[in-house]
Structure 1
Amino acid sequence: MNPILSNLRNITLTYAIWLMIGCLLAALLVLTNLSAWANALLFAVPTTLLFGGLAASAYYVARALPMKKRNFFIVSGVFGGAALIYGVIWAVLCFFWNKVTLQFDEMWAGIELNQHLASLLFICGTLLYLLSILVYDVLLALENIRQAERREAASEVLARDAELQVLRTQINPHFLFNSLNSISALTAIDPAGARNMTIELAQFFRQTLALSEKQKIPLTDEIALCNHFLAIEKIRFGKKLQVQMQIDPDSVECLLPPMLLQPLLENAIKHGIRDLVDGGTITISSRVRAPWLFVAIDNPIDAQPTEAQGTGTGLKNLQARLRSLYADKARVEWQVIDQVFRIEIALPLEK
């Protein structure tokens, strides 16, 4: 739709501009001693306003010539030809309107419209219509730029969502396999434990599916998901696995991406607790220091691991996921102090 005619505000602004052009034309007639003020205004203002309505067709002239198909000769022919046609239309319009006003037979009506003035009106109409085409052309170019930006933004959102979906569903399949193997082993020696483990596993995956559809969840929901995961692991590892929660009450409603902590807990067990003869305690802590939410996980590690260390894929995925969601506003740091591996995540504070 023609942007000038899209709403009342644009229509009013457009006709205000054409009214100014009409008054300017009247002033030129007065300054060149071709007419008195009353005659000039009566001649120039109505014809200019009517021509302003006709000039709205310049939008369709500009739109009919796609930017990809343009060259100098085509643009000159189409734009110039349309401007010449409407220049003639305005000159004819001025002639007939002046003839009508002369019928009033009043001093304030009509001007002396000679051939020289008619030629000037033709040139003026041609230039005004050509200017209208150029204005619409600029508006169309700006609209194309905005549409391209919107398409690019939509593509980025889709790409980001796809990336996040892949990253947050990368649950280590060994966790599922180990859980099923543990359930199979427990059915013979501890049927009640096998049943509890099956229930916890079902609840964990049910909650995982529900939370994975959301972009961000409260910390309390993430902790609940972690508790289901840890309950399964405690059945597998028994007293070797201990967990300590140090959750700041001010942080429980803070938002973070779902399943952010579970892969870290899995790494803490796989690369820490499992290699220790006596096991150890995993500590999950959170604190709020506006404008940041800090979440950390500490776990003991063996001074001499019995198997090769991990490749760091989980930490790389975590960094990529936070970068997609927060750009450079989030931070992940990890270090080993006195055989304790600590990873801390800093997120912008959201509730």
Structure 2
Amino acid sequence: MNPILSNLRNITLTYAIWLTIGCLLAALLVLTNISAWANALLFSIPAIMVFGSLSASAYYVARSLPMRKRSFFVVSGVFGGTALIYGIVWAVLCFAWNKLCLLFDEDWVGIALSQHLASLLLICGTLLYLLSILVYDVLLALDNIRQAERREAASEVLARDAELQVLRTQINPHFLFNSLNSISALTAIDAAAARNMTIELAQFFRQTLALSEKQKITLSEEITLCNHFLVIEKIRFGKKLQVHMEIDPTSDNCLLPPMLLQPLLENAIKHGIRDLIDGGTIIVSSKVRDPWLFIAIDNPVDTQPSQTQGTGTGLKNLQARLRTLYGDKSRVEWRITEQTFHIEIALPLERL
């Protein structure tokens, strides 16, 4: 649709511009002593307003030539030829309107329309229509840029969602396999424990499916999910696995991506607690330091290198996921000492 005719504001502004042009044309007629003010205004304003309506067709002329198909000669021929045709229409319109005014035989209507003035009106109409084409051409170019930006933004959103989906599917599946193996083993020696583990496993995956559909969840929801996971792991490892939560109450309603902590706890158990004869305690802590939310996990590690030492893929996936969501506004740091592995995540503070 013609952008100038798309709403009342644009229509009003357009006709205000054409009215101004009509007044300037009348002033030119007065200054060159061709006519008095009354005659000049009555001649120029109605004619220019009608021509302004006709110039709306310049939009379709500009749109008829896509940028990729343009050349200097094509543009000059189409734009220049159309402008000349409408210039002739404008000159004929002025001549007809002036003839109609002269029929009233009043001193305040009609002007002396000479051949020289008719030629000037022809040139003026051609230039005005050509200017209209150029204005519409600029508007079309700006609209194409906006559409391209919207398409690019939509593509970025789709690419981000696809990347997030890939990263989510890379969560370590060994937890499920190990849990099922543990349930299978427990059915023969402790049916009650196997039943409890099955219930917790169902609760964990039910909540995982529900939360994974959201882009952000609260820290309290993430902790609840992790607790279901830890209950299952405690059935597997018994007293060997201890967990201590140091969650700042002010961080409970802070937002973070779902399934952010569970893979880290899984790694802490797989590469830390499992390799220790006496096990150990995993410490999960959070604190708010406006404008940041800090979450840290500490777990003991074996002083001797393990044959199942990780490759760091999970941590790289975590960094990639946060970079996709937050850009450069997030941070993941970790360090390992002789007996402890420490990882800290810093996220922009967002609250529910």
Counterpart-to-counterpart distance in 2, 1:259 and 1:306: 26
Task: Report the Cα distance in structure 2 between the residues aligned to 1:274 and 1:267, rounded to whole angstroms.
Answer: 10
Instruction: Tell me which residue corresponds to 1:228.
Output: 228
Distance 2:285 2:168 in 1: 21
CA distance in 2, matches of 1:34, 1:26: 10
1:96 corresponding residue in structure 2: 96
Amino acid at match of 2:105: D
Q: RMSD between aligned alpha carbons?
A: 0.9
Which structure 1 segments of 5+ residues have no match?
none
Mapped to 2, the partners of 1:148 and 1:96 lie a distance apart of 46
Question: Match of 1:75?
Answer: 75
Q: Distance in 2 between matches of 1:17 and 1:172?
A: 66
Counterpart in the other structure of 1:305: 305
Alpha-carbon contact 1:212-1:259 (below 8 Å) kept: yes
Separation in structure 2 between the aligned mates of residue 338 and residue 184 of structure 1, nearest angstrom:
36
Corresponding residue number in structure 2 for 1:291: 291
What is the Cα deviation at residue 168 of structure 1? 2.0
Contact 2:216–2:255 (Cα < 8 Å) also in 1: yes
Secondary structure of the equivalent of 1:342? Answer: strand
Output the CA distance in 2 between the equivalents of 1:306 and 1:126.
85
The answer to whether the aligner puts 1:84 opposite 2:84 as a matched pair is: yes
The Cα shift of 1:127 comes to 0.4
Shift of 1:36: 1.1
Q: Whole-Å Cα distance in 1 between the matches of residues 221 and 250 of structure 2? A: 14
2:39 aligned residue: 39
Q: Map 1:1-351; keep pairs closer than 5 Å.
A: 1-337=1-337, 339-351=339-351
Q: Give 1:163 shift.
A: 0.6
Displacement of 1:154: 0.2
Paired-residue identity, %: 83
* Alpha-carbon separation, structure 2, partners of 1:265 and 1:236: 14
Q: Distance in 1 between matches of 2:269 and 2:48?
A: 81
One-letter amino acid matched to 1:241: L
Q: Secondary structure at the match of 1:172?
A: coil
- Give the conservation status (yes or no) of the 8 Å contact 2:164–2:324: yes
TM-score with structure 1 length normalisation?
0.99
1:3-52 deviation digits (Å, cap 9, x = unpaired):
00000000000001001111111111111111111111111111111100
Alpha-carbon distance between aligned partners in 1 of 2:261 and 2:213, rounded to the nearest angstrom: 16
User: How many Å apart are 1:83 and its aligned residue?
Assistant: 0.3
* Matched residue type, 2:295: V
Q: Match of 2:195, as an amino acid?
A: R
CA distance in 2, matches of 1:159, 1:90: 53
Q: CA deviation at 1:81?
A: 1.0
Rounded to whole Å, the distance in 2 between the matches of 1:101 and 1:263 is: 87
What is the rounded CA distance, in whole Å, between the counterparts of 1:291 and 1:169 in structure 2? Answer: 30
- CA–CA distance in structure 1, aligned partners of residues 339 and 95 of structure 2: 97
Q: How far did residue 276 of structure 1 move?
A: 0.5
Distance (Å, rounded) in 2 between the aligned partners of 1:308 and 1:221: 31
- Unpaired runs of 5+ residues, structure 2, are none
Contact 2:268 2:282 (C-alpha < 8 Å) held by counterparts: yes
Q: Is the 8 A contact 2:87 2:124 kept in 1?
A: yes
Contact 1:218 1:255 in 2 (8 A): yes
8 Å contact 2:95–2:113 — kept in the other structure? yes
CA contact (8 A) 2:271 2:308 kept: no
Q: What is the TM-score with the length of structure 2 in the denominator?
A: 0.98
Counterpart amino acid of residue 112 in structure 1: A
Contact 1:79 1:133 in 2 (8 A): yes
The alpha carbon displacement at 1:308 in A equals 4.2
